[in-house]
Amino acid sequence: MNVLDAEFVKGFMRMADDGWKQGWHERNGGNLSYRIRPEEVESVREELCPGAWKPIGTSVPKLGGEYFLVTGSGKFMRNVTVKPADSFCIIELDQAGDNYRICWGLVNGGRPTSELPTHLMNHEVKFTATGGKHRVIYHAHPANTIALTFVLPLTDEAFTRELWEMATECPVVFPDGIGVVPWMVPGGRDIAVATSELMKKYDVAIWAHHGMFCSGEDFDLTFGLMHTVEKSAEILVKVRSMQDYKRQTITPDDFRHLAKDFGVKLPEKFLFEK
């Protein structure tokens, strides 16, 4: 089958384009990766043409031999549907999880996203934590979430609680909470280690003054998670723009009642009295 006719590739392209339409991907901002199922790899096997092995820049031994769809470094999300073979690639990891090789795409040269270490370390953590269920890691630059990293304390507690309060669906959509990475140089192993530590506990990690990472089972759920967090951040920006206090809000006991009725566990560390 043609790579571009495969359903998993169509889903990947649709998600990239949806993020672009949301305004989360100025220039080459943001990147997307998907851990491909074995049967999906087989369906496009005849199209794969492996290149030379290159170092990932970190080690992901649990992902040895896996294949990923991943956007290219410096490539624009707005071009993913328009010139797909130029914008993203299929990579294969070696058995040790130290090196990758491009098997399809990036036809005009280039390499996978500079955030490949963070994507792959997040995939590895989630592979273990979810028994292989999570397959999508998404990085975007949504403006309201980034704006909040200039005014809220850079703690998991502050971000989780404030964003839960802004929409009743939030604690149901991300019951485990949100992690926050202080400002760090992007693109390397250090930020990958810090982010993947948080991904052991959460499906969302915010990078101060930069953007957000989300992890999920499929394209819909991962896009929906990013969308929900950013929508909540937008409401908080609007509330704070009107006045510097909330006249009323959702209380810790309200959250406890919600958790009971919706069958979710909300960690008590986020239900502190203010």
Instruction: Lay out the site mask for ligand 13P across 179-208 (x = CB under 6 A, - = otherwise).
Output: -------x----------------------
Residue given tokens 């630059």 in the structure block: 141
Which residue stretches of 57-98 are H helix? Answer: 84-87
Q: Dihedral through CA 53, CA 211, CA 130, CA 173, nearest 10?
A: -150
Nearest to 120 by CA among 104, 142, 98, 103: 98
By CB under 6 A, residue 115 contacts ligand 13P: yes
Stretch that binds ligand 13P, among 3-11, 53-61, 108-116, 148-156 (CB under 6 A): 108-116
- The nearest distance, CB 42 to ligand 13P, in angstroms, is 28
DSSP β-bridge partners for residue 68: 35, 91
Sheet holding 179-181, edge to edge: 54-55, 99-105, 88-93, 67-71, 31-35, 136-140, 211-216, 204-207, 179-181
- The nearest distance, CB 141 to Zn ion, in angstroms, is 6
Instruction: Lay out the site mask for ligand 13P across 56-75 (x = CB under 6 A, - = otherwise).
Output: ---------------x-xx-
Amino acid in the structure at residue 119: H
By CB under 6 A, residue 114 contacts ligand 13P: yes
Stretch that binds ligand 13P, among 28-36, 95-103, 128-136, 170-178 (CB under 6 A): 28-36
DSSP β-bridge partners for residue 31: 139
* Residue 115 bears catalytic tag: yes
Which residue in the shown chain puts its C-beta closest to Zn ion?
211
H/E segment holding residue 104? strand 99-105
Binding-residue total with Zn ion (CB under 5 A): 1
Nearer CB in complex with Zn ion: 84/211: 211
Instruction: Lay out the site mask for Zn ion across 184-213 (x = CB under 5 A, - = otherwise).
Output: ---------------------------x--
Q: Which one of Zn ion, ligand 13P, none interacts with residue 162, CB within 5 to 8 A by kind?
A: none
Q: Write down the catalytic residue from 40, 66, 92, 115.
A: 115
Give the DSSP per-residue string, 155-222: SHHHHHHHHHHT-TTHHHHSTT--EEEPS--SSSHHHHHHHHHHHTT-SEEEETTTEEEEEESSHHHH
Q: Which parts of this chain interact with Zn ion (CB under 5 A)?
A: 211
Q: Which parts of this chain interact with ligand 13P (CB under 6 A)?
A: 28-31, 71, 73-74, 113-115, 139, 186
Catalytic residue positions?
115
